[in-house]
Amino acid sequence: MERFAVIGAGAWGTALAMVARRAGRSVILQAHEADVADEINSNHQNPYLPGVTLDPAIEATTDMTTAIQGVDAAILVAPSQFLRPVTASMSVSGPFKAPVLICAKGIENGTCKLMTEVVAETLPAAPQAVLSGPTFAIEVAKEIPSAVTLAAEDGELAEQFIQAFGTPRFRPYRSEDPIGAEVGGAVKNVLAIACGIVQGRGMGDNTRAALITRGLAEIVRLGLAKGAQAETLMGLCGIGDLTLTCNALQSRNFSLGVALGQGRPLAEILGERKAVTEGVFSARAVIELAGRLGVDMPICTAVNAIVNHGRDIDRMIESLLARPFTKEL
């Protein structure tokens, strides 16, 4: 793997393009917005990643056919709710057969499908792997040491991506459980909103620690029901990503929860943001999938009620606290 197309030129896609360049690979970024592509090509800057100068060798285009022509692999970083149409456009000129690395975190609304399931339908000829873990784009871009899970059912494919993409300061760890990597990455965004809400309400560190721990139990229950391995969710893509996202204002989901907890309207918060806050969109799909699989997820259910049905925050908190006592595991 020598030439990569990164599909999605937001903060995370741009940071991953920088990782690939540092690993010595050729990279082209596919951007949705023409002004973003122009800024990358002309000034080696991306407004989604302010203060970071890109390697001049990183090119950008808005044209999908140009982006994927002749590449050895594609890194898929479009937001989860847009991944289906974006990847479908990759096959307009014929089947796309190169390996893909799925970096979008979420569950598709309506179908309740994981991103690997979506891509299996839109790019059936493309071997696939998943990258997930505790990473903020700005820190990866600045070469602050980070570690991730890189998962594929085909262990050789995972190893190929690791050898092509890994660097001393961006360390991928191999897994053969892509389902676990996906479930961990999707559900933690919803739980981060919950942790932000209690932070905004001034409820303290005890409460946030309890939410993180009980939230992990919800992730594990859903993961097992979907076919994941529990030990995967004890790693970087599970407890690692959950811990990071639920404790830092850099997290779009946590910071949105903080603002909600402080009493600000959801529409106002989202209106101020250029980047997608995945947890708002994933909450509905997570709960629908849990219902189909018969999995109890009370914290995620409360978040969904707040962000998608306008339920009162204090009443939802009290409803969680009033639940019957039960076994921890």
What are the structural domain ranges in the chain?
3-176, 179-321
Which residues make Cβ contacts (< 8 Å) with residue 21, sequence separation at least 6?
A: 27, 55, 57, 58
The token pair at 26 is 């050729």
Q: In angstroms, rounded to a whole number, what is the distance separating the alpha carbons of residues 96 and 107?
A: 23
Tracing tokens 């996906």 back to the chain, one arrives at 182
Q: What is the CATH code for 179-321?
A: 1.10.1040.10
Q: In terms of C-beta density within 10 A (0-12 exposed, 13-18 middle, 19 or more buried), how is residue 50 classed?
A: exposed
pLDDT at 273: 79
Task: Tell me the residue ranges of DSSP E strands in the chain.
Answer: 3-7, 26-30, 59-61, 73-76, 100-102, 128-132, 146-151, 170-175
pLDDT at 68: 96
Residue 237: DSSP 8-state: I
The candidate with the shortest Cα–Cα distance to 99, out of 170, 161, 179, is 161
pLDDT at 276: 72
Q: In angstroms, rounded to a whole number, what is the distance separating the alpha carbons of residues 285 and 240?
A: 22
Active site residue 188: yes
Greatest C-alpha distance within the chain: 60
- On whether the CB atoms of residues 179 and 227 are closer than 8 A, the answer is yes
Q: In angstroms, rounded to a whole number, what is the distance separating the alpha carbons of residues 210 and 190?
A: 15
Active-site residue, from 188, 226, 274, 327: 188
Across 188-216, b (16+ Cβ under 10 Å) vs e yields bbbbbbbbbbbbbbebeeebbebbbeebb
CATH of 3-176, one of 3.40.50.2030, 3.40.50.280, 3.40.50.720, 3.60.21.70: 3.40.50.720
Start-to-end CA span in the chain (Å): 43
pLDDT at 146: 98
Per-10-residue mean pLDDT of the chain, 329 residues long, equals 96 97 97 96 95 96 96 96 95 93 94 97 98 97 97 97 96 97 95 96 94 96 97 96 92 94 93 81 94 97 96 95 90
pLDDT at 281: 86
Strands laid side by side in the 59-61 sheet: 59-61, 26-30, 3-7, 73-76, 100-102, 128-132, 146-151, 170-175
For the entire predicted model, the pTM comes to 0.94
pLDDT at 7: 98
pLDDT at 75: 98
> How far, rounded to the nearest angstrom, does the alpha carbon of residue 297 sit from its chain's CA centroid?
20
Helix (H, G, I), strand (E, B) or coil at 4: strand
- On whether the CB atoms of residues 177 and 53 are closer than 8 A, the answer is no
Strand partners, 61: 30
pLDDT at 278: 81
- On whether the CB atoms of residues 146 and 139 are closer than 8 A, the answer is yes
Count of positions (residues) in the chain:
329
